[in-house]
Structures are given as structure tokens and as C-alpha cells.
Amino acid sequence: MHCKELESVLEAEGLEQLSKDARLHLATCGACQGFVADLNSIVSAAKSLPAEVNPPDRIWISLRAQLEAEGLIKEAVEVSQEPSWWESFSAWLKPRTFATAAGAALVLAAAVYVTRLPHNRPEGVAKNQPAVENSHPAQPQVTGSVPPPAMRPANAAPSQAQAAAKTKELAPSPSESASFALSQAELDVPNMQLAGNSQVDASLRQNLRTLNAFIAECELHLKQNPQDELAREYLNTAYQQKADLLAAMMESGRGEN
Amino acid sequence: MVGNPADAEDLMQEAFLQLFRKIGTFRGESAFSTWLHRMTVNVVLMRLRKKSLPTDSLEETPEPDAENSGHKRDVGAPDLRLSGAVDRVNLERSIEKLPPGYRTVFVLHDVQGYEHNEIADIMGCSVGNSKSQLHKARTRLRELLQEEMRQQAREERKAAKTPTGSLD
């Protein structure tokens, strides 16, 4: 093998695993020995060079800004695992029979309430409202339309006659009957696993405790001020919200159990 | 490939922008790193073409220029040995002087450890071409390093002269 041939072999195959003829030539040619030795030195030195060079931080900042400007990336948004009031309401109304029965119960309760309104309502009630309003506890927010209250547990939708009988039998006012019905529905809640996520479970129960505390305050206030229309309105709203919440909790419990 | 850090940073950013824009087109037929490398090379080559700089296709054998012809390796002739150790700074400086095609293959293979089939995939050339370009890159680096050694030797001789500039 000649020097030119060795170079052709090196070009085609590289420095590793030289053929027998190439090794024989190298053993006898000092120039080619030096050439190959130099190439090996270069390869060894190259391995010590950093394979990756970290660019300065400003490059990443500039890149991020450009990506955001083009809409290719967006800021991460925390997704709340707790269902919104509207989602709870929508889930609660999915069983159509229950929605129908609840609507009928609401109409019936409203009719009974109107017929049993006291005749000697004081004229000064409106003047008292600002003061009463200030003494009222903060009302929980109600989003979306106001749903009808749940008079019974979700898996036992009452008929109109049953709802009327229950209302007539239990209490003189729709508020008290609603409270009783909700309390009955609440009896099963402590033993239920409401959601696969313990945080959601705890959150739902906390919401229920908050609502119960508010309802208790309103009921106490109404006992002392039975003519307070605003307090009554707050209480009815709270019952509706509790009905919402219980429906959502029972729906979750049915899904998990 | 571009020979200076400022252009390298700009092109790095451009390559990542292309990556985000075209991520949906990645079909998984090659390794993701190979796909990214290929995209990066294309970004650089496009920039070099815009600047009308030599892009040295790996399918072509570069014509010997004035710089190369004076240091063409004479087969069998005695060469200045690199003495078994190559200075890292000189090596980096010499790599920067390589033509872009040579530089890319040398860095991918000898610095970053890619195999020739991977380099061929990244550069869009054949394995044989990758090997050929690598050998030429190493040979050219040897020449540049030898020139660097000669330059340093000349400067040392110059520094050894007396302040009056006369030799005693």
C-alpha cells in the first residue's frame, strides 16, 4: 500500500479499525505515522470540548416572549376542581323527573306562602330594611338562575300530592318545611363518599357547613323578627342553595358508589 | 456553522421558534434530537444563503482555494508534528476557521459523538459523504494547527531578539 492509498482508506473508513494492509504501511512509513498520530490527537482534543453550550438566559426570555406574542404558548391557568354553582345546578337538573317534581313543589310552596301571608304587615318594614340589611350575615353568592329547593332526596322525587301533604302536615310555613326536607336529605350525607378526590369531598362538606351556619342565623333572626321580609328572602335563597349543594353532593355520591 | 456567537444565538432562537411552529409535523420517524438538529441545520443554511455566504454542500467536494493549496499535504513529505497534544484554545480557534460543512460534521461526530448514519440523516447526505467530509475536516484542522504552531514559533523567535533588534 502507498501513502495515497492509505489516505483513501482513511477518508472512506476513518481512523478506527484500519485494515491489515494499512497497518502494515503505517509500520513502515514515518510520515503517515505522524499524520495518523496528529489526527488522533485532534480527535482526542475534540472529545474534551463541551458538547453543549448553554445559551445566556436572555435568549430563553426573548424566545418565550416571541412564542407568547405568536400565541404558540400561553400562561398556565389553574383549573378549579370544585364544581361551580352552575355546574352543580346543571347536574342536579339532569334527571328530568326530579326537575319536574322540584318545579311543582316550588309552585306549590309559593302558593301556600302567598295564601298564608299575614294581613297586618307593618308599613315601616321598608324603612327597617337598611338596618336589617346591615345586621344580616353576608349572603352566599348565587350565580345563574335561582333553582327550586329540593324538598326530598334526589333519588325519591315526590309527586305533587305528596309534596302538598308534607307541607301541610309538617309546618305552618314553607320555610320550615323546606328546612325539614333539607335536613332529612342531609342525614345521608355524612356516610357518603362524595367524590373520588378527598379535597373536593372536604370542600363540599365545608360549603354545607357554611350554608347551615348561615341558615341558622337567618332562622334565629326571623324568630325574633318574623316580619322581616328581607331576612325571609335571604333564608329562602339559602335553602335553595343548600338544595343545590345537596343535589350535587348526592349526585357525586351516586357516581362514586 | 456560522462562526460567531451573536449569529449563533439568533439562529438558536429562530430554530426553537421553528420547532414550536412545526412540532405538529413531527411524525416520530427519527429521534426527536435528530429532527431538531435537521431543522436547526436548515435554519442556519437558509440564513447563510441569504447572506450569500458559502454553504458548502456536503455533496460537493470544495475546490482547493489559495489558502488550502499552499498547505496541501504532500504525501510522504515530512510534516510539522502536533507533538501529541493539541491546545484546546487553538483547536477551538481552528474549528471556527473551518468551512461550515466541514465544521458541522466535525462537531457532530468528534465533539458531540453522533454516528455517521445520524449525521447523514441530519445533514441530508450519504454516510460515505459524512465520512469523507469528516476526514477532510480533520486534515484541514491539522493544517490550521500546524500553521498556528509556525506562527507561535515565529513570534517566540521575534521575542528572543535583543531590544535593538540585532542578533548577536
Q: What is the ipTM of this complex?
A: 0.73
Q: Determine, yes or no, domain membership for A29.
A: yes
**Residue B154 Cα to chain centre, angstroms:** 26
Q: Determine, yes or no, domain membership for A30.
A: yes
Q: What is the pLDDT of residue A173?
A: 58
Among B78, B84, B134, beta carbon nearest to A41: B84
pTM: 0.48
Residue-averaged pLDDT of chain A: 71
The rounded percent of chain B whose pLDDT value lies above 70 is: 75
Cβ of B132 within 8 Å of Cβ of A11? The answer is: yes
Task: Verify that A102 and A190 share a domain, yes or no.
Answer: yes
In this predicted structure, the answer to whether residue A103 has a pLDDT above a threshold of 80 is: no
In this predicted structure, the answer to whether residue B136 has a pLDDT above a threshold of 70 is: yes
Q: Structural domain of residue A131, as residue ranges?
A: 85-256
In this predicted structure, the answer to whether residue A41 has a pLDDT above a threshold of 70 is: yes
**Where do the domains of chain B lie?**
1-55, 84-154
In this predicted structure, the answer to whether residue B59 has a pLDDT above a threshold of 60 is: no
User: In whole angstroms, what is the distance from residue A88 CA to residue A14 CA?
Assistant: 71
How does residue A17 score in pLDDT terms, banded at 50, 70 and 90? confident
Q: What is the pLDDT of residue A113?
A: 64
Residue-averaged pLDDT of chain B: 78
Q: Which of A181, A183, A204, A180 is nearest to A255 (CA)?
A: A204
Task: Verify that A106 and A28 share a domain, yes or no.
Answer: no
Q: Determine, yes or no, domain membership for A24.
A: yes
Q: Residues of chain B whose C-beta is under 8 A from some C-beta in A?
A: 9, 12-13, 16-17, 20-21, 73, 75-79, 81-82, 84-88, 91-92, 106, 110-113, 128, 131-132, 134-136, 138-139, 141-142, 145
How does residue A134 score in pLDDT terms, banded at 50, 70 and 90? very low
**Are A64 and A73 spatial neighbours (Cβ–Cβ below 8 Å)?**
yes
Own/partner pairs for B34-43, CB < 8 Å, 24+ apart?
B34/B118, B34/B121, B34/B122, B37/B108, B37/B122, B38/B121, B38/B122, B38/B123, B38/B124, B39/B15, B40/B11, B40/B12, B40/B15, B41/B1, B41/B104, B41/B122, B41/B123, B43/B11, B43/B14, B43/B15, B43/B18
For A43-47, what is the mean pLDDT?
91
Q: Indicate the number of domains in chain A.
A: 2
Q: What is the pLDDT of residue A154?
A: 44
Q: Residues of chain A whose C-beta is under 8 A from some C-beta in B?
A: 2-4, 7, 10-14, 29-32, 34-35, 37-39, 41-49, 51-52, 55-56, 59, 62-63, 66-67, 70, 72-73
Task: Verify that A167 and A226 share a domain, yes or no.
Answer: yes
Task: Verify that A27 and A123 share a domain, yes or no.
Answer: no
Q: Which fold has domain B1-55?
A: Rna Polymerase Sigma Factor; Chain: A (1.10.1740)
The rounded percent of chain A whose pLDDT value lies above 70 is: 53
Q: What is the pLDDT of residue A147?
A: 43
Cβ of A3 within 8 Å of Cβ of B78? The answer is: no
- Of A11, A28, A43, at which residue does a domain stop? A43
Q: What is the pLDDT of residue B110?
A: 94
More confident residue, A175 or A148: A175
Among B111, B135, B139, beta carbon nearest to A46: B111
User: In whole angstroms, what is the distance from residue B149 CA to residue B113 CA?
Assistant: 27
For A217-234, what is the mean pLDDT?
86
Q: Determine, yes or no, domain membership for A179.
A: yes
Least confident of A63-72, A150-159, A245-254: A150-159
Task: Verify that A25 and A144 share a domain, yes or no.
Answer: no
DSSP symbols for chain A:
--HHHHHHHHHHH-SSS--HHHHHHHHH-HHHHHHHHHHHHHHHHHHTS-S--PPPHHHHHHHHHHHHHTTSS----PPP-SPPHHHHHHHHH-SHHHHHHHHHHHHHHHHHHHHT--S---TTHHHHHHHHHHHSPPPPP--SSPPPPPSS-TTSPPPHHHHHHHHHHH-SSHHHHHHHHHHHHHTTGGGS---SSHHHHHHHHHHHHHHHHHHHHHHHHHHH-TT-HHHHHHHHHHHHHHHHHHHHHHHHHHHH-
For B118-143, what is the mean pLDDT?
92
Among B79, B85, B106, beta carbon nearest to A41: B85
Give residue-wise pLDDT tens across range B26-52: 888 888 888 888 888 888 888 877 776
User: In whole angstroms, what is the distance from residue A257 CA to residue A153 CA?
Assistant: 16
More confident residue, A70 or A166: A70
Q: What is the pLDDT of residue A58?
A: 84
How does residue B133 score in pLDDT terms, banded at 50, 70 and 90? very high
Mutate to test the interface with B, among A3, A38, A62, A66 (most CBs of B within 10 A): A38
More confident residue, A78 or B39: B39
Cell of B133: 467530509
More confident residue, A211 or B70: A211
Q: Write down the CATH number for the domain with range B84-154.
A: 1.10.10.10
Residues whose CB is less than 8 angstroms from the CB of residue B22 and which lie 6 or more positions away in sequence, other chains included: B39
In this predicted structure, the answer to whether residue B132 has a pLDDT above a threshold of 60 is: yes
